[in-house]
């Protein structure tokens, strides 16, 4: 009887911890992140934006606004840049990894508040497949960062740590996806604690690149749109399909 009582107490304690991790802890972490981001955006806006005085140049069918919008979305157009066009497999990895990360963030909100949305075994399997692929891509990227002399030369401790953090987090997401606390409590706890840590850490790390993305892309697009460069015309001659995978020898093992 004593043994049974001890297990029961332990389960109750663990459940309370999980309950805290998936609710209050997340709210605290999210609030912290939002607060830091508020200050960060204010900080970005405290720098003066350059002004363009000249009349538009180049293609008359475009303008600053069109250029900015094109620039914001050209990451979704892998044909628009030689760097993505010449490395379609690398681009695919990029897509999988980012979708997996975004899905995992969404799952951290869905699990505690709308668990019924991911109760179907099919959805769970789809999520797990995505997280597994994201995990594999992450491991691949980590290896690339260590092995490729090019990428190693530019990598900082933050680069390694941020990537490793996401890889581990995706592994926990994979195991937590079934949301069965009887079986996967350890993974759920790990997943939510990692999510919270992630939220606390992100504003200070390279992972916050998505905050800067709209700024860099908007301003670059605005300038190049005003000057008639963006949107870049689709120029199939530059990359005939026949030589797409062979023309430029990869210099860093993409």
66 binds other proteins (CB under 8 A): no
- Give the nearest distance from C-beta 115 to other proteins in angstroms: 33
Q: How far is CA 5 from the centre of its chain?
A: 44
User: Would you state the torsion angle of the CA atoms of residues 116, 120, 122, 128, taken in this order, to the nearest 10 degrees?
Assistant: 50
Whole-number Å distance between alpha carbons of 64 and 55: 11
Whole-number Å distance between alpha carbons of 93 and 141: 9
- Give the nearest distance from C-beta 37 to other proteins in angstroms: 12
Count of residues interacting with other proteins (CB under 8 A): 65
Whole-number Å distance between alpha carbons of 180 and 49: 50
150 binds other proteins (CB under 8 A): yes
Question: What are the tokens at 125?
Answer: 């399997």
63 binds other proteins (CB under 8 A): no
242 binds other proteins (CB under 8 A): no
Q: Are 200 and 32 in contact (CB under 8 A)?
A: yes
The piece of 24-32, 100-108, 120-128, 246-254 that touches other proteins (CB under 8 A) is 246-254
The piece of 26-34, 111-119, 175-183, 229-237 that touches other proteins (CB under 8 A) is 229-237
Site for other proteins in 157-216 (CB under 8 A): 157-159, 204-206, 209, 212-213, 215-216
48 binds other proteins (CB under 8 A): yes
- Give the nearest distance from C-beta 82 to other proteins in angstroms: 6
The piece of 7-15, 164-172, 190-198, 230-238 that touches other proteins (CB under 8 A) is 230-238
Q: Are 198 and 168 in contact (CB under 8 A)?
A: no
Q: How far is CA 81 from the centre of its chain?
A: 20
């Amino acid at each position: 009887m004593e043994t049974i009582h001890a297990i029961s107490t332990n389960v109750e304690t663990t459940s309370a911890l999980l309950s805290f991790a998936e609710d209050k802890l997340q709210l605290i972490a999210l609030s912290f992140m939002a607060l830091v981001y508020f200050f960060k955006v204010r900080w970005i806006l405290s720098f003066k934006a350059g002004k363009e005085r000249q009349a538009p140049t180049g293609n008359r069918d475009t303008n600053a606004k069109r250029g900015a919008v094109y620039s914001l979305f050209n990451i979704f157009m892998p044909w628009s840049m030689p760097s993505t066009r010449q490395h379609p497999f690398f681009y695919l990895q990029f897509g999988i990894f980012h979708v997996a990360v975004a899905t995992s963030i969404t799952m951290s909100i869905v699990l505690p508040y709308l668990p019924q949305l991911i109760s179907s075994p099919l959805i769970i399997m789809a999520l797990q497949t995505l997280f597994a692929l994201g995990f594999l891509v992450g491991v691949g990227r980590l290896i690339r960062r260590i092995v490729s002399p090019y990428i190693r030369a530019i990598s900082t401790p933050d680069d390694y740590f941020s990537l490793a953090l996401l890889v581990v987090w995706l592994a926990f997401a994979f195991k937590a996806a079934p949301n069965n606390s009887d079986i996967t409590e350890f993974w759920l706890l790990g997943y939510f604690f990692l999510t919270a840590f992630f939220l606390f850490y992100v504003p200070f790390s390279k992972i916050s690149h998505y905050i800067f993305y709209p700024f860099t892309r908007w301003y670059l697009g605005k300038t190049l749109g005003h000057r008639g460069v963006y949107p870049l015309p689709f120029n199939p001659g530059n990359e005939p399909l026949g030589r797409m995978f062979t023309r430029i020898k990869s210099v860093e093992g993409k």
